[in-house]
Structure 1
Amino acid sequence: MTHTPLKALVTGALGFIGTPLCRRLLERGDTVTMLDLPPKAPSDLIGHSSASYHSLDLTRESDWERVIRGHDVVFHLAANTENRPGMAGRLADYEHTVGATVRLLYALGDKEPTTFVLTSSQLVYGGRAGRAREADPVHPQTTFAAGKVAAEAFLCAYANATHISAVACRLANVIGPGIRRGVVADLVHRLREDPDKLQVLGNGQQRRSYVHVDDCVAALLVAAATAQPGFGILNVSNTDTLTAAEVASVVAAASPGLAPAIEYSGGSAWQGDATALHPDASKLAALGWKPQHTSREAVSSTAQSLFGGSTVQGATT
């Protein structure tokens, strides 16, 4: 099926999910306006003939009309990405998740775009929600989750007022090459520090779904292509799950020449940690999305990419 090129606006464009999303949009022939803070490393996307990059802080009031108007679709990824309490600052969720969303919606006005996709989180359901469905009540247990709920609510109000098509994608654990935080990155970092021992926070029984970043990008594109007038919600979760103990075993197996002893700190990993959460993504699957990587494959390939195929200090090959 022939794709009609779109004009896309992406916030958080140079981040972990934003970078492959922008790359995919450009590959299929779209024109992309990228909004983000100054990059921490060089990006091949900056300077692309069909892309324009703008360094904008969405938490600050500014005249954005010249940059954000005139697009067919907005992918709003910019937000606080640290879900552990106290790690990102007391006001991070309020300022970077809620405030940035409200300011962006206000700046867009009531004419454009026709489609708006927001990245939300599975954590809005609470950490023990099991096979949560989109219609289930939310039960945020951290400020991170509360910020996502509030951002969704403002987008819902905006969609109702403007009659655009808006969808919030509640993401499970998204991982892949280049990820810098989260359980897989943390475990790889610990093995680099101590190749003989791998400590897992909690009791190892926390169960979650893991989505490869490429599958996440595919889900966002499906969400945009199938969004209906008004506000909708889609879970983005894999078909399977892994316990934290299984994740540790997969990471250890992916390490170059290591056979670490796996230990557990016991109890909960941290307050508000998800212990039994596998959102039901059948609604998204019915729209044509199918993950190309299982949770185990996503964890393994992520760990291998983070190790870089190199020998960890202290390991034998």
Structure 2
Amino acid sequence: MVANGAAGPVVVTGGAGAIGAVLVRALLAEGRKVRVIDNLSGGRIEHLTEVLADPRLSFLEADLADPDRYQESFRGASEVWHLAANADIQKGTADPGIDLREGLLNAFRVMDAARRHAVPKLLFSSSSVVYGQPSTFPTPEGYGPLLPESIYGASKLSVEAFLSGFAHCYGIRTYLYRFANIIGPFMTHGVIYDFFEKLRRDPSRLEVLGDGRQAKSYLRSEDCVAGMMFIRDHAAEPVNVFNLGARDRISVQEIAERVVAVHGGRARIEYTGGERGWVGDVPRQLLDITRAERLGWTPTLSSPAAVDRT
């Protein structure tokens, strides 16, 4: 925990997003001044409604593609949390330029702004998709070769590589957090959100992409943020790579059954078939979180419990 006033302001890109909104609250609770940069293409200002009046919080609606708009936000900052990116894997597959622009190029602009203003720490929301479809479960941080199976995953891995270079060339300590599936109160997409939206439109049936046997680890956004902040405070290598997820996983079929039960239990579940839900989908994922646990962090909820809480 950083004592109130012990460090400079914190920049959060994508601070109005599903994870960012939780992180902003946690940083404010820590006593920090927080500067949020978000173009609101995926995030929503409503996610920050209850904290917008806090004098320690500033919000800048700006696109990361225009660095002149936000250079001043980096002045005097002690940390930059870079969360802003396209979060829709299917959207990036349909137009691969999206993840190049919003993933790699915007991340580079953030890194360069951090370099120009001598920001000592840069923390990045990466993803388990950098592993592609691994042959080892649970998958440790040292697994390789890293062969992503989506454009989204390729952009995340590319950003990791650039951050490593910036860490060693410019002395910016970097944190690369490889997330499992993150779920929580501010979701605007994802399997659970999509299921509820489908049932809202047609309560009689629920279409599930794939065969339903896709099985992945799910982590609540509160656990995710707590893990990121704990690792920030306890890991001090030039480049710090950590998996963040639950120790177990849950199948899409089980999630569908839970959602239908919550919705009244009358909808029939229909599967489109196939191992993958879409092009670029990774059907099986389970991260090895031993490294984070040895440091002292552990998630509070299992994957099924995280789904039920959501």
User: 5 Å matches for 1:221-232?
Assistant: 221-232=229-240
- CA apart distance, 1:17: 0.6
Q: Which amino acid aligns with 2:18?
A: F
**For the Cα contact (< 8 Å) 2:33–2:56, is it kept in 1?**
yes
Q: 2-side partners of 1:2 and 1:107: how far apart?
A: 24
Q: What is the deviation of 1:292? A: 1.5
Partner of 1:174: 182
In terms of mean alpha carbon deviation, does 284-293 or 142-151 score higher? 284-293
Q: Distance in 2 between matches of 1:74 and 1:243?
A: 35
Verify the 8 A CA contact 1:133 1:235 in the aligned structure 2.
Answer: yes
Instruction: State yes or no: 1:160 paired with 2:168.
Output: yes
Cα deviations across residues 30-54 of structure 1 (Å, max 9, x unaligned)? 1111111146444323332111111
State the alpha-carbon separation in 2 of the partners of residues 196 and 238 from structure 1: 32
3-state SS of paired residue (2:284): coil
Kindly report the root-mean-square deviation, in angstroms, between the aligned alpha carbons of the 2 structures. Answer: 1.9
Q: How does 1:90-129 map to 2 (within 5 A)?
A: 90-109=96-115, 112-129=118-135
Map 1:107-256 → 2, pairs under 5 A? 107-109=113-115, 112-129=118-135, 130-137=137-144, 138-255=146-263
- Match of 1:29? 31
Query: Taking every aligned residue pair, what percent have the same amino acid on both sides?
Result: 32
- What displacement does 1:12 show? 0.4
Which region of structure 1 is more displaced relative to structure 2, 63-72 or 164-173? 63-72
Aligned residues: 301
More helix, by proportion: 2
* Residue identity opposite 1:51 in structure 2: L
Cα distance between partner residues in 2 of 1:182 and 1:127: 19
The structural deviation recorded for 1:63 is 5.6
Aligned AA (1:93): D
In structure 1, runs of 5+ residues without a counterpart are 303-317
Aligned to 1:76: 82
TM-score (norm 2): 0.91
Cα drift, residue 4 of structure 1: 4.7
Q: 1:259 aligns to what?
A: 266
How many Å apart are 1:89 and its aligned residue? Answer: 3.4
Between the aligned partners of 1:200 and 1:10, the Cα distance in structure 2 is 34
Whether the aligned pair in 1 keeps the contact of 2:219 and 2:302 (CA below 8 Å) is yes
1:309 aligns to what? none
Distance 1:86 1:120, change over 3 A: closer
For 1:109, what is the secondary structure of its paired residue? helix
Give the CA deviation at 1:112.
2.4
C-alpha separation between the residues in 1 aligned to 2:117 and 2:170? 7
Following TM superposition, by how much is the alpha carbon of 1:301 offset from its aligned partner in structure 2, in angstroms?
A: 2.1
Gaps of 5+ in 2: none
Output the TM-score relative to the length of structure 1.
0.89
Aligned to 1:19: 21
